[in-house]
Amino acid sequence: QKEVEQNSGPLSVPEGAIASLNCTYSDRVSQSFFWYRQYSGKSPELIMSIYSNGDKEDGRFTAQLNKASQYVSLLIRDSQPSDSATYLCAVNGASNDYKLSFGAGTTVTVRA
Amino acid sequence: GAGVSQTPSNKVTEKGKYVELRCDPISGHTALYWYRQSLGQGPEFLIYFQGTGAADDSGLPNDRFFAVRPEGSVSTLKIQRTERGDSAVYLCASSLHDRNTEAFFGQGTRLTVV
């Protein structure tokens, strides 16, 4: 079982709609969770971090964390063509594990 | 600098040659990470430095790969006897500390072994 799994995509949404991205992780003691956006040919760009259960909102982005279900999600509201990218879920593990484990990413296409 | 800087942006080398990839982290960031990303995959951890020491090198694929950070700032990833399978984008990231803090990536070095 992979450490971090994301819905495979690609995900196509119309402009103005909500894009919903899901991520599950296997290490129950994981403590930190991040979403990165990666445009084609570019490096990952951090867009959200979340550390405790519940929702965290930043502009059009909302991250949701449920540690009991080992699940983290990202919602993109009012999707724009500029949101078209691959979204990577990253998880930082146990107390002595400093590295990030990444999912394979979900590619989102926002159609005008 | 304002962000993580990696050089070169692109490197083409012949199979069997030695290459060095450089990373200059965000000023003041003590933690530095190297990752490797293949097409269609998420970044894969290689090695992590806290200050000058390699705190975790468990992701290095074999002994052809080595990394240093002698003064706790700039890091160099060294690959000996390159193989075609080493072709990938090598990403460097830094964070203020090592725990629960946000890591920021450089633009990467695209390595192609021919």
Sign for the CA dihedral angle at B91, B58, B71, B33 comes to: positive
Q: What is the pLDDT of residues A18-57, one digit of tens each?
A: 999 999 999 888 889 999 999 999 999 999 999 999 999 9
Q: What is the pLDDT of residues B61-107, one digit of tens each?
A: 999 999 999 998 999 999 999 999 999 999 999 998 766 678 999 99
Q: Identify the closest residue of chain A to B58 by CA–CA distance.
A: A99
Of residues A8 and B59, the one with the higher pLDDT is B59
Distance from CA of B101 to the nearest CA of A (A): 8
- C-alpha to C-alpha distance for B49 and B74, rounded to whole angstroms: 11
Classify residue B54 as left (phi > 0), alpha (psi -120 to 50) or beta.
beta
Q: Under 8 Å CB-to-CB from A98, ≥6 apart: which residues?
A: A92, B31, B48, B50, B55, B56, B98, B99
Q: What is the pLDDT of residues B1-29, one digit of tens each?
A: 589 999 999 999 999 999 999 999 999 89
Q: Most A CBs within 10 Å: which of B5, B26, B56, B99, as the mutation test of the A interface?
A: B99
Of B32, B34, B30, nearest to B21 by C-alpha is B34
List CB contacts (< 8 A) between B99 and chain A.
92, 98
In chain B, residues 47-76 whose CB comes closer than 8 Å to chain A: 48, 50, 55-56, 59
Residue B99: predicted pLDDT: 65
